[in-house]
Amino acid sequence: MDLQKIVREVPDFPKPGIQFKDITPLLSNPSAWAEIIDQMESLANEVRPNLIAGIEARGFLIGASLATKLGMGFIPVRKKGKLPGKTIGIDYELEYGHDRLEICSNESLNKKSKILIVDDLLATGGTALATQRLIEKSTATVVGFQFIIELCSLKGRIKLPQSVPIHSLIKYN
């Protein structure tokens, strides 16, 4: 199945000059979504995680689906102030300012945890890198990254650690 043909391009969103890659058509197509999760399962089996971490918000959809398929737990990575209870957080820089990511501080993340980070899009790599640093701050180990889409021209891949696999199902130049 050619997943790239199903992705919708929205010109000038969220601002002029941006060609937004919309995964909504993939989500509404059960065959396409099953294909995405099957491909990600195959790649996940190579790195052998025991937990999946998904970046807010579309990473939740991917991560929860993949974690269920693999029979393992899911860790939501959220923006500041969205999680209840005690959290672990990290501040990071964006192209246009700064932000904060948080995860729940609980016993599921420890030195034995092997985490696969998933999200819909790899662009500049800043949020994915911050997520990796946050996971490692919890003493867990990141074993890989998976994305549905990668915008290669933005070179986000080079910001991520080259010591772990980085997989993207669809690449745009």
- The pLDDT tens digits of the residues spanning 116-145 come to 999 999 999 999 999 999 999 999 999 999
Q: Which fold has domain 48-172?
A: Rossmann fold (3.40.50)
The token duo for 125 is 């790599």
Q: From the candidates 35, 56, 58, 136, give the one annotated as an active-site residue.
A: 58
CA distances from 153 to 48, 128, 166 (A): 29, 16, 16
* Annotation marks residue 58 as catalytic: yes
Q: 56 an active-site residue?
A: no
* From 9, 35, 46, 95, the catalytic residue: 95
- pTM to 2 decimal places: 0.96
Within 8 A by CB and 6+ apart from 52, the residues are 44, 63, 64, 66, 67, 70, 72, 73, 74, 75, 115, 116, 118
pLDDT at 165: 98
pLDDT of 94 strictly over 90: no
* Per-residue model confidence (pLDDT) at position 96: 75
Task: Categorize the per-residue pLDDT at 108 as very low, low, confident or very high, splitting at 50, 70 and 90.
Answer: confident
